[in-house]
Structure 1
Amino acid sequence: MSGRYRSIVDVYVLLRRADGNILLMERANTGYADGQLCPPSGHLEDGESVIAGAIREAAEEAGVELAEADLTFMHVVHHRNADEEGRIGFFFLADDWRGEPVNREPHKCARLIWADPTNPPANTVPYTAAALAQIAGRQTFSLDGWDSP
């Protein structure tokens, strides 16, 4: 079984305000994409569902409380980075949550901003920006970083 393909699973939460803007966090001091923006997100923990992971990450990073019913599945992307490492990212939308978004991880996040998801800032993580473009086009699945078959 050691030869089986394995992929990291990422979960993303698009907290959307009434004006349509979503919350983005500027990464800092992590060693990956520092200075770039992405929504509250992270990797699944052992034995965790994508829903549970999304709820946990939103609480840990932005201090908001979500319930499963608050999340709407939007997109899944199979991404491969420059090191040819595969990742699968699940994007969920939340229009309702409890609490005011705050930076709960200032050691990993320089600031929070609200941005138009259809025109994200130039310093948005490319993997995230590509997924946001697919979501804007109402696509539920995409490949990113893979050569055509």
Structure 2
Amino acid sequence: MLPSTRAFLERHAAEHPVAAAPAAAAGPAAAAAPSGTVPNVVGVHLLLERDGQVLLGLRHPDSAYAGGSWHVLAGHCEAESATACLLREAYEEAGLVIDPAGVELVHTVHMRERPADPPRIQLFFRARRWEGTPRLREPDKCAAWQWWNAEELPEPIVPYARAAIEGVRAGRVYTELGWGR
């Protein structure tokens, strides 16, 4: 084990000690989860590219999250796989039919925007094949779809979307944001 990895693990163990749980904890799920375990929200994102441009949506100004900012097509996983969620969201939000055989995971962002927020895993998928032209199907969430030069992204843009697009362009597959390091 590398010294830096060992130091990280030792620091993490000291900051998050595992409390001894009573033998009759609240069921098998409680017994399996170490103390301090927090579920992560899983988001899926579509990185749709053509001719050096990426598709971004302008979030409705009244959106609960990032109103008035540009963002890739995205949604939260429900009781479904990440790929199924991506296909569903692409159709619901923009009327696009994505070929699941042409989908690949290209970047992951593990983030926390504020200390009190739940951590999030943001999965970015590239679709090599799709049918349809992006159209507004949820105007209460998205005010416009537009293709942008990937080297000249608009402002304001959701920061983790920018980090992922730039990461993909640089050949990186993973980014961490908001963990205070």
Runs of at least 5 residues in structure 1 that lack an aligned partner in the other structure: none
User: Retained in 2: the 8 A contact 1:12–1:40?
Assistant: yes
Higher relative contact order (CA 8 A, sep 6+): 1
- Which of structure 1's runs of 4+ aligned residues deviate more than 4 A? none
Q: What's 2:76 paired with?
A: 43
Q: What's 2:84 paired with?
A: 52
User: Retained in 2: the 8 A contact 1:118–1:132?
Assistant: no
Cα separation, 1, equivalents of 2:176 and 2:117: 13
TM-score (normalizing by structure 2): 0.76
User: Retained in 1: the 8 A contact 2:99–2:127?
Assistant: no
Structure with greater helix share of residues: 2
Cα separation, 2, equivalents of 1:119 and 1:138: 18
Cα separation, 2, equivalents of 1:117 and 1:44: 26
Cα separation, 1, equivalents of 2:55 and 2:120: 22
Matches within 5 A, 1:1-149: 1=30, 4-17=37-50, 19-28=51-60, 29-46=62-79, 48-82=80-114, 83-148=116-181
Q: 1:13 to 1:33 in 2, by over 3 A?
A: same
| TM-aligned CA deviation for residue 127 of structure 1 | 1.4
User: Retained in 2: the 8 A contact 1:25–1:110?
Assistant: yes
| TM-aligned CA deviation for residue 110 of structure 1 | 1.0
Bigger radius of gyration, 1 or 2?
A: 2
Opposite residue 74 of structure 1, the aligned amino acid is V
| TM-aligned CA deviation for residue 117 of structure 1 | 2.5
SS in 2 for 1:133: helix
Opposite residue 53 of structure 2, the aligned amino acid is N
Cα separation, 2, equivalents of 1:134 and 1:100: 26
Q: How many residues align?
A: 146
Cα separation, 2, equivalents of 1:117 and 1:56: 25
Opposite residue 99 of structure 1, the aligned amino acid is G
Opposite residue 94 of structure 2, the aligned amino acid is A
TM-score (normalizing by structure 1): 0.91
Runs of at least 5 residues in structure 2 that lack an aligned partner in the other structure: 1-29
Cα separation, 2, equivalents of 1:43 and 1:118: 27
Percent of counterpart pairs with the same letter?
38
Cα separation, 2, equivalents of 1:20 and 1:116: 6
Report the aligned-residue RMSD. Answer: 1.4
